[in-house]
Amino acid sequence: MRPSSSAAAVAVGLQINQARAASSPLTAPSHTVPQMDRAWVRKQLEDFIDLVTRYERGRPPGEYIGDQALYDQLHRAEPTMKKILHTLDPEIAAKVNIDQMAGPEMARNEAHRGLGVLDGLDEWDHRLAPDAPVLSADRLHPWVWSAAGTFWESQHFRAAVHAAASAINAHTQAKLRRRDVSDDKLMQEAFSDKPPEAGKPRLRVIGDPNDPTIQSRQRGAVQLGLACFFAIRNPAAHQVDEWSEQVALEYLATLSVLARLVDECTLTT
């Protein structure tokens, strides 16, 4: 599911098992059907079925080949049919061969099966998805998603992550009222276990500072902040290749944890 600025959801561990449809038994294909222009695919399949039907109706009884013009059209349409059916289910496409005995009729049957797969896609996505947790991108910390959303809409996933990290940096600077440090150095000073100094306030995890768990979280906050800027923000800023949607979303989720931590910490001056 591609996130949008209004509601973006990604199923964690989502693996959709597609199935055979129409006149064949329902068995799971060995691949996941990619995004496609479904209206165009449907039109191509339906036109092919109509072409075969016209060809078969005009073929004289006992003759191997019917109308030559229609037969030629079947050959021209065959590569597109194979490509479409291979995308829907490679096993279906493998059975299409116009030149074999009863080839047009068999190809028509496979085209019907392709329509069955196409009809089932949306329903399978909904009905056959595992009962896995769902993370809604628009429910990430607002510092993260408000900065990333616009880039995400245009599928600039790496830029979305960079924008989110930059937003965390800006909000942290604002909370500390500091502009002299940024990024990893800002995180290091913000979560430092050293006492605050003039012009150097600190962020403290909420809780009893003598509690070992709180102390552990405070130390972890430093490491998390450094990791987010070293391992996420810096590659987002300097790499040139685009990132996959899944990888980028995982990075946004990590940045959201940091943003929430910064937001919830108390400021000690």
Are 85 and 114 in the same domain?
yes
Are 218 and 112 in the same domain?
no
Are 21 and 122 in the same domain?
yes
Are 152 and 226 in the same domain?
yes
Are 143 and 243 in the same domain?
yes
Are 142 and 227 in the same domain?
yes
Domain count, the chain: 2
Chosen domain end from 102, 127, 152: 127
Closest by CA position to 110, among listed 164, 49, 69:
49
Are 166 and 244 in the same domain?
yes
Residue 34: per-residue pLDDT: 64
Within-domain flag for 12: no
Chosen domain end from 127, 152, 180: 127
Are 119 and 146 in the same domain?
no
Instruction: Give the long-range contacts of residues 205-210, CB within 8 A, separation 24 or more.
Output: 205/261, 205/265, 206/264, 206/265, 206/266
Within-domain flag for 172: yes
Residue 4: per-residue pLDDT: 38
Within-domain flag for 100: yes
The domain of 161 spans 136-268
DSSP, res 11:
E
**Which two three-digit tokens encode residue 238?**
């300097």
Q: Average of pLDDT values for 20-24?
A: 35
Residue 244: per-residue pLDDT: 94
Secondary structure (3-state) at 266: strand
Chosen domain end from 127, 153, 178: 127
CA separation for the pair 87, 84 (Å, rounded): 5
Are 146 and 262 in the same domain?
yes
**Which two three-digit tokens encode residue 229?**
């800027």
Least confident of 6-20, 111-125, 214-228: 6-20
Are 151 and 228 in the same domain?
yes
Within-domain flag for 40: yes
Please state, rounded to an integer, the average pLDDT across all residues of the chain. 85
CA separation for the pair 85, 99 (Å, rounded): 18
Are 39 and 64 in the same domain?
yes
CA separation for the pair 47, 212 (Å, rounded): 71
Partner residues linked to 203 by β-bridges: 267
Neighbours of 132 (CB within 10 A): 11
Neighbours of 160 (CB within 10 A): 29
Are 111 and 152 in the same domain?
no
Q: Average of pLDDT values for 192-211?
A: 94
Within-domain flag for 49: yes
Share of the chain above pLDDT 90, in %: 67
Share of the chain above pLDDT 70, in %: 86
DSSP, res 63:
-
Q: pTM for the full model?
A: 0.57
pLDDT digit string, tens, across residues 122-171? 788 777 767 777 788 889 999 999 999 999 999 999 999 999 999 999 99
Within-domain flag for 10: no
Within-domain flag for 9: no
Within-domain flag for 4: no
